Structure 1
Amino acid sequence: MAGIRINTGSGIDPKMVDQLVEIEREPIKQVEARKKTIVDEQKLFSDLKGLVSTLGSTLNGMRTKADFYKLKLTSSHPDIIEGTVDNNAPIGSYELEVRHLARSHKLLTQSFEDKDKTAVGFGYMTIEKEDGESFDVDIDPDRSTLNDVATQINSMDKGVKAIVINTKEGIEDSDEENYRLLVLSEKSGKEAKVTIDPDTTYLEFKEQITGRNLEMLFEDVKVYNETNKVTELFPGMVLDAKKAEPGTKVNIKIDYDVDKSLENVKKFVESYNKVNEFIEKQFQVDPNTNKAGVLSKDNSLRTLRRTLQSAIQFSLPTGKYQTLADVGISTDPKTGNLKYDETKAKQALSEDYVGVSKLFIQSDETVGIGIRMSDSVRNLQSQQSGVLPSKDREYKHILENFDKDIAVKNRYAKQKEESIRHQFAVVEQLISGMNAQGQVLQQRLGGMG
């Protein structure tokens, strides 16, 4: 009798179960793909927001006179005196003469053969400053070398400094030793005088340098200062006296810093163009795919472009320089970018700094481009009504919905997977049972042969 062929297993390919489970996950993959598209859009939009933020920061330096104006101080003799100015300094040229530099009061002791072995006394000495403040320096007999006394004075932090100096006087004068203690006021000026009563010490102090104030002539008027840095002559200017040159007239000129101002103008043009180029790229159609950028259908880009283009269209009612084009900034009709002619811009600022500044800042007569565009950017960034935060919220809402949808579909797919695997397990058990019965039947039929 011909044998009966019976499977020894279920015969079900395990890969088929995995394939069915994968089919059930297909809707999740579709949602995840749409989510990735939105995430990519959101990243691009975030890049655009960064460019707009940079433009806004640049415009903040062009809103008002205090923002836009840049001044500089030049000295005819910077080796004698130089300085710095801020926007509060008065424009003009001024004549100075440095007669005496300020210097600190200095006292010097007699010489000693060493700095760290010989005792210079014990007990205390009194140090008195010109303002009436005095303090005692206690000298321990066991710690009374020049180094010890200097350390003790410096540790008290009273505005008086002590230094042990090695003069090597002994090589010139056999009657002198090499080491001396130099005590000096940490402040300069006539009022920084220091008086020392050595009392029970062996120290003898003599005046090495008398404290003195800075003395200058400013426009033939005598001016004094406790230090060589003058900060209060008039608002907005700091002078730094380097050396005294009696009889030498120094001319200092405070004027507009055209080059510094041009740096801000150039930054504005560059940051504006980066925003414009980003937007323009989104609207360009790729010849290979015949598609525009992923943000090309986003109305917020069109709103942003219109807002910036509207703000840039501005002119002054009077004056030689009435438009940006007059000062070297023109618009490319093909790309919308700003073209910058630095030579023309420098010439315009050099000729009429105040007039050109009115194109950008808010003045008594007009509201310039700087503040107009700055306010426009701030409106776009407004959390309450701005286009950019609104778009951010839209992206956030869409992605949250995607996440919820993916979570629901994941739960459903998990349930379907469990159901499919359970059903195939049941089928496999049935087939395995049938195979076992077939084997028994085969054995019996074989025995009958």
Structure 2
Amino acid sequence: MAGTTVSGIGSGIDTQAIVDSLVAAQKAPKQTQINTQTLKATTTLSSIGKIQSALDAFRGALSNMTDTNSFGGLSLQSSNEKVATVTMGSGAATGSFSLLVSKLAKASKVSTQVYADGAGSVVNKGTTATTLTMTQNGKAFDLSVPPGATLQQVRDSINSQFGPAGLSANVLTDATGSRLIITSTKMGEGSDITLSGNSGLDTGYKVVDEPVDAEYTLDGVEMKSKTNDITNAVSGLNIKLVGLSTKNANSGEYSPTILSLSTSSSTLKSGLKGFIDTYNALLKVVNAETKVTKNADGSMTAAALTGDASMRTLMTSIREELNAVSGNGTLKTLAAFGVTSSQDGGTLSLDDKKWDKVASTNAADLTSIFNGKDGLLARLQKVTEPFAKASTGTLAERSKTLSESLTKLKAEQDTLDTRMDALKKSLQDKYNNMDTLVTQLRQQQNSVLSTLNALNKSKDD
């Protein structure tokens, strides 16, 4: 037994090492299977999650391009942004409009009497709460003013309680004292604010500003608006009035502000580049999760989704739509506008020289390729929807299946661990019994040898 590590007290044999080796040998095949399946399911689930996120971002970008009319190709301009600014809404079309602004919409504004002690003036010196009622458009807003409340506290209460309804208050202070100024986000005639109640704040209040409608002329038509933000005067055009039109120093007549919407090739090019970037971002993630990597020793390592049929179907569907002939213009493909696909990876790029050549005469054709219910943006949304649905889509279903597999593998691991613990205990018990038996045998051996030695010694004597 020389050189053997011992753990058995009686036998001198390392029984624990034997037990560990037997358990490990019994556990190894199933443990290898669980580890392999768990690693594959985990990496695949991670890859599916990355694809899902990238696809959601791609579809979100498509929706944003549709909502913002990225391929409308329209450029907005206001000749005088000190009078009006413009933004695009849905349904915008080319055209120009002459605008004259004679009056801006204003909100009602009222002021309480002056309180000589400033913002800290106590406005309720009694022992019970009083009420300040602010009425606008027939709706009353009642504010409870507690005993000892100051002007500043009343201001804060109005803003916190009625700010969401459009009312606001400020304290205005000068050498004579402070007064409470109450106004509203609502503008236009008929939105007057009145004060009443028993708080005393309504006593002697003054009207600082009367609410008035905005008055303007658009292409010679006189118009009014309750607000300075005008969204329905011209289809697809949002106008914000910011100032009054001024007179021309030479003619003495008011100078109109020209609001124009015109087709812009630079706007269309920007939209096209944005689309290319959006597609390439999706493709980059898909390529990363499906590529085969060549190692330094010449061997190949597959990614989690290499050869995956779902990924092939997804990208084939998208590429077919990119290459399809569509639109009602002279140019009906992205390739005609200089969009090319790389041989290595399939990323898109724009040939600026080719774009510049066709944009001068056919830039508007790009609009019909992308827009409309049969346009590229809508078609890409349609073909990717079966993959992207949150709970029933292809990717969601695969994620669910993989998660269930991992749960099952975890249960199998727990069962294996329990079975191996039982086997280990059983083997330990058997080897301990063996060690005890060896100890007894050695004790008997020693007893017999002692007896024989004693007899031999007695015979020699």
TM score, norm. by length of structure 2: 0.71
Q: How does 1:405-444 map to 2 (within 5 A)?
A: 406=413, 409-410=416-417, 412-444=419-451
Query: Cα 1:133–1:38, aligned 2, differ >3 Å: closer, same or farther?
Result: closer
Q: Do the aligned residues in 2 keep the contact of 1:108 with 1:205 (CA within 8 Å)?
A: yes
Q: CA deviation at 1:383?
A: 9.1
Q: Pairwise mapping of residues 226-375 of structure 1 onto structure 2 (< 5 A)? A: 226-246=226-246, 247-255=254-262, 258=268, 261-262=271-272, 264-275=274-285, 277-278=287-288, 281-282=291-292, 284-294=293-303, 295-316=305-326, 319-341=329-351, 352=362, 354-363=364-373, 367-375=374-382
Query: Structure 1's 424 and 388: CA in aligned 2 closer, same or farther, altered over 3 A?
Result: same
> In the alignment, which residue of structure 2 is the partner of 1:23?
25
Alpha-carbon distance change, 132 to 166 in structure 1, aligned in 2, over 3 angstroms? same
Q: Secondary structure at the match of 2:287?
A: helix
Residues of 2 paired with 1:70 and 1:232: CA distance? 21
Q: Does structure 1 retain, via aligned residues, the 8 Å contact 2:97–2:259? A: yes
Q: Residue 257 of structure 2 aligns to which amino acid in structure 1?
A: V
State the SS of the aligned residue for 2:291.
helix
Shift of 1:60: 4.3
Q: Deviations over 1:183-210 (max 9, x none)?
A: 6653544434567899999976776555
Amino acid at match of 1:55: F
Q: Deviation of residue 150 (structure 1)?
A: 8.1
Contact map agreement 1:229 1:238 (CA 8 A) in 2: yes
1:166-205 alignment runs, 5 A limit: 166-168=173-175, 178-179=176-177, 181=179, 186=184, 187-193=186-192
* Alpha-carbon distance, 1:433 to partner: 0.6
Compare 147-156 and 309-318 and name the one that shifted more. Answer: 147-156
Cα distance, 1:318 vs structure 2? 6.0
1:288-324 per-position Cα deviation (integer Å, ceiling 9, x unaligned): 2512414434444444443333333212376342211
Separation of aligned partners in 2, 1:289 and 1:38: 23
Question: Structure 1 residues 347 and 98 mapped into 2: Cα distance closer, same or farther (>3 Å)?
Answer: farther
Q: Give, in whole Å, the separation in 1 of the partners of 2:397 and 2:11.
A: 59
Identity across aligned pairs (percent)?
19
Distance change in 2, residues 1:63/1:379 (3 Å): farther
Q: Which structure 2 residues correspond to residues 125-136 of structure 1 after superposition, within 5 A? A: none
Partners of 2:425 and 2:332 in 1: how far apart?
76
State the number of aligned residues: 428
State the one-letter code of the partner of 2:434.
V
Q: What letter corresponds to residue 255 of structure 2 in structure 1? A: T
Cα distance change on mapping 1:163 and 1:8 into 2, 3 Å: closer
Does 307-316 or 22-31 show the bigger shift?
Answer: 307-316
Kindly tell me: are residues 154 and 373 of structure 1, through their superposed partners in 2, closer, same or farther at Cα, counting changes over 3 Å?
Answer: closer
In structure 1, the residue corresponding to 2:369 is in which secondary structure?
Answer: coil
**What SS is found at the alignment partner of 2:370?**
coil
Q: Quick check: 2:68–2:89 contact (8 Å CA) kept in 1?
A: no
Residues 316 and 359, structure 1, Cα contact 8 Å, conserved in 2: yes
After superposition, give the CA deviation of every residue in 1:347-391 in whole Å (9 maximum; x if it has no partner). 86786565213323445xxx3443344333223457999764565
CA 1:276–1:399 in structure 2 vs 1: closer, same or farther (change >3 Å)?
closer
Aligned equivalents of 2:429, 2:318: Cα separation in 1: 63
1:101 aligns with 2:104: yes
Classify the secondary structure of the residue corresponding to 1:309: helix
Asked if 1 retains the 8 angstrom alpha-carbon contact of 2:327 and 2:375, the reply is no
What is the CA–CA distance in structure 1 between the aligned matches of 2:67 and 2:90, rounded to whole Å? 12
Match of 1:44 in 2: 47
Q: 1:239 to 1:374 in 2, by over 3 A?
A: closer
Partner SS for 1:97:
strand
Is the CA contact (8 Å cut-off) linking 1:162 and 1:181 kept in structure 2? no
Question: Judging changes above 3 Å, is the alpha-carbon distance between structure 1 residues 251 and 276 closer, same or farther for their aligned structure 2 residues?
Answer: same
With over 3 angstroms needed to count, the CA separation of the structure-2 counterparts of 1:346 and 1:103, relative to structure 1, is farther
C-alpha contact (below 8 Å) 2:104/2:228 kept by paired residues: yes
Does structure 2 retain, via aligned residues, the 8 Å contact 1:165–1:180?
yes
Task: Give the 3 Å change call, closer, same or farther, for CA 19–348 of structure 1 in structure 2.
Answer: same
Alpha-carbon distance in structure 2 between the residues aligned to 1:349 and 1:277? 32
Please identify, of 155-164 and 354-363, the stretch whose mean Cα deviation from structure 2 is larger: 155-164
* Cα-to-partner distance string for 1:15-45 (whole Å, 9 max, x where unaligned): 2222222222222332133224423344334
What's the C-alpha RMSD, in Å, of the aligned pairs? 5.0
CA shift for structure 1 position 241: 1.9
- The match for 1:9 is 10
| Pair 1:425–1:345, CA change in 2 (3 A) | farther
| Post-superposition CA distance 1:158-216 (Å, at most 9, x none) | 98877654343xxxxxxxxx247476653544434567899999976776555433221
Q: Cα–Cα, structure 1 residues 198 and 266, in superposed 2: closer, same or farther, change >3 Å? A: same
Which of 54, 57, 64 aligns to 1:54? It is 57
Distance 1:179 1:103 in 2: 26
What TM-score results when the alignment is normalised by the length of structure 1?
Answer: 0.73
Aligned residue in 2 for 1:34:
36
1:85 counterpart letter in structure 2: M
What CA distance in whole angstroms lies between the structure 2 residues aligned with 1:268 and 1:262? 10
Structure 1 equivalent of residue 3 of structure 2? none
Deviation at 1:417, TM superposition (A): 2.8
Distance 2:109 2:20 in 1: 94
Q: SS of 1:233's equivalent?
A: strand
The worse-fitting range, judged by mean Cα deviation, of 21-30 and 130-139 is: 130-139
Q: Is the 8 A contact 1:262 1:346 kept in 2?
A: no
Provide the rounded CA distance (Å) in 1 between the counterparts of 2:412 and 2:261. Answer: 67
Q: Which residue of 2 aligns with 1:80?
A: 83
Q: Report 1:158-173 matches (<5 A).
A: 165-168=172-175
Does 2:221 match 1:214? no
Cα distance in 2 for partners of 1:268, 1:306 equals 17
Q: Tell me if structure 2 keeps the 8 A contact 1:162–1:182.
A: yes
Which is further off, 16-25 or 38-47?
38-47
